[in-house]
A = this chain, B = another copy of it.
Amino acid sequence: MKNNIKILVISLFFTGTVFAQNGQALIKKSINEQQSNLVEEFRTFLSIPNVAVNPKGLQDNANWIKNYMQSKGIEEVSLLTLPNSSMPPVVYGEVKVPGATETVIFYAHYDGQPVDSSKWFPGLHPFKPALYSGSYENGATVLPWLSAGNNYDVNARIYARGASDDKAGVMAIINAYAQLKALNIKPTVNIKFFFEGEEEAGSPNLEAFLELYKNKLASNIWVICDGPVHQSGKKQLVMGVRGDTHLELTVFGPKRPLHSGHYGNWVLNPAMELVRLLASMKNEKGEVTIKGFYDDVIALSTAEKQALANIPSVEDQLKKELGINATERTGALNDALQLPSLNINGIQSAGVGKYSANVIPTKAIASVDMRLVVGNDWQRQQQKVIDHIKAQGFFVTDKEPTDEERKLNAKICMVVQDKKSYNAQKTSLDNLYVRRISKAISLVDNEQPLLLPTLGGSLPLFVFEKVLKTSPVTVPIANHDNNQHAENENIKLKNFFEGIQVFSAIMTMEK
């Protein structure tokens, strides 16, 4: 009986901004009381390996999420698959809200970047989550997991692959709804859940998948949870993402490794050829010197320029934190991210350190990634690089060179083009949901989120507009120093808990 009265009171209460604020206070209190459970459930989730080379692990993740959603009271949950593909299942769910006329679909992904556990700090392992008092790099110490009823220091961090990118998103979205349901707060919109399992592999099947499930996935807006909040710690609403494409370049030297004494000076060293090639791609000012590299870029709108100007300066803080004195491009970080980029992800030829030997290596490999902005086309951008390599005198091939090709060409570069690339996407700042979602997020801590024209990172968001004619916006929750895409990935508990609040606020956003 008491319960019923409470529900009635809440239902009466939470209409209008003031009431929504009080709703947020209730949700915050409730999350606070459930800290240890939430962390324990997150920890269990993070223990399931989620890398592309392990399809069974991805399936296990999908099954876990499905059960977890059902346990949180989401009734219509299913694993959707794309027939005749290797696409891991999408975990899908729906909540229909009586009287709601709009539908918001929430996206996150449960797969993670590849891992090399040997590179993680001692005591850390990608799939053995560990809790630390803060940032490991800054000397944090390991903490115990707490039993029910105990509270964590919210500056503590969980270390594991996917902790921030992007299992945190899955957890925050599900628990946002779970909180509303537990507190009997009625969402203002119909809710759809969409958890993908191959985002880090470039979502090669997403477009076909959306085509197949077009009707089921109808919505007014996609809300994507991925990436980090602003380096200042401020929340942000992100209108777009850069596109992403890769090339792997292999320069060939002699067919067998040669003694660097007996042949050094005479036989071309492929590592030297590769470094000269890479060095030719960018100047000291950080400008890519590949012909036409910036040609397709569409200029920013006035509103976008204004939004960028509103972003607080974090450059000095970042330099200190990262231990760097200078940057590649002068000026603000977010100005630099409005341009296409070219970055060496990795480079390798023979061995260094204890593996170094006195050889002329047989080949040298560089993995290069390029970020794209609106206007760029990934195939055109790849071609510009290939043309540049040719202009440096290389014979370009897409496979190991034949003896005949070796005989005919002084310099040979194998270019493996990533076909799972995608273009940038940007939602207009005029989109009506921008204002409403912005306002909802502001209820969490009484501060307007920053409006970011584009995230530096990439997601295949263009497909939502292309297939479903629906725009996406991104609401990141992770701390900016989360080591996303690298070893020692982590999330700050404060960001995890506030993330839950953020999505519950969006699920209850006003007109």
Residues of chain A whose beta carbon lies under 8 Å from any beta carbon of chain B: 53, 113-114, 116, 137, 227-228, 241-242, 244, 246, 248, 252-269, 271-272, 274-276, 278-280, 282, 284, 286, 320-329, 333, 336-337, 339, 341, 343-361, 364-367, 369, 371, 401, 403, 406-411, 455-458, 480-481, 483-488
The answer to whether A278 and B267 touch across the interface, beta carbons within 8 angstroms, is no
Complexed CA–CA distance, A233 and B141 (Å): 64
- Set B284, B352, B407, B487: member contacting A347, Cβ < 8 A: B352
The answer to whether A345 and B458 touch across the interface, beta carbons within 8 angstroms, is no
The answer to whether A485 and B359 touch across the interface, beta carbons within 8 angstroms, is yes
Complexed CA–CA distance, A109 and B456 (Å): 56
Complexed CA–CA distance, A371 and B260 (Å): 8
Complexed CA–CA distance, A325 and B411 (Å): 8
Residues of B within 8 A of A259 (CB): 228, 456-457, 484-486
- Set B242, B264, B347, B409: member contacting A261, Cβ < 8 A: B242
The answer to whether B357 and A485 touch across the interface, beta carbons within 8 angstroms, is yes
Provide 18 A-B residue pairs closer than 8 Å at the C-beta atoms, listed in order of the A residue: A113-B358, A241-B261, A244-B358, A248-B353, A259-B457, A259-B485, A260-B343, A261-B458, A265-B456, A271-B278, A272-B343, A272-B344, A275-B276, A276-B282, A279-B280, A347-B350, A353-B367, A358-B485
Contacts A137-B255, A260-B371 given; does A324 touch B268 at CB 8 Å: yes
- Set B114, B265, B337, B359: member contacting A336, Cβ < 8 A: B265
Contacts A279-B275, A343-B264, A367-B352 given; does A486 touch B328 at CB 8 Å: no
Residues of B within 8 A of A401 (CB): 323
- Set B246, B322, B352: member contacting A255, Cβ < 8 A: B322
Residues of B within 8 A of A487 (CB): 257
| 8 pairs of A and B residues whose beta carbons are closest in the complex | A261-B457, A257-B486, A326-B410, A275-B275, A346-B350, A279-B279, A356-B367, A323-B406
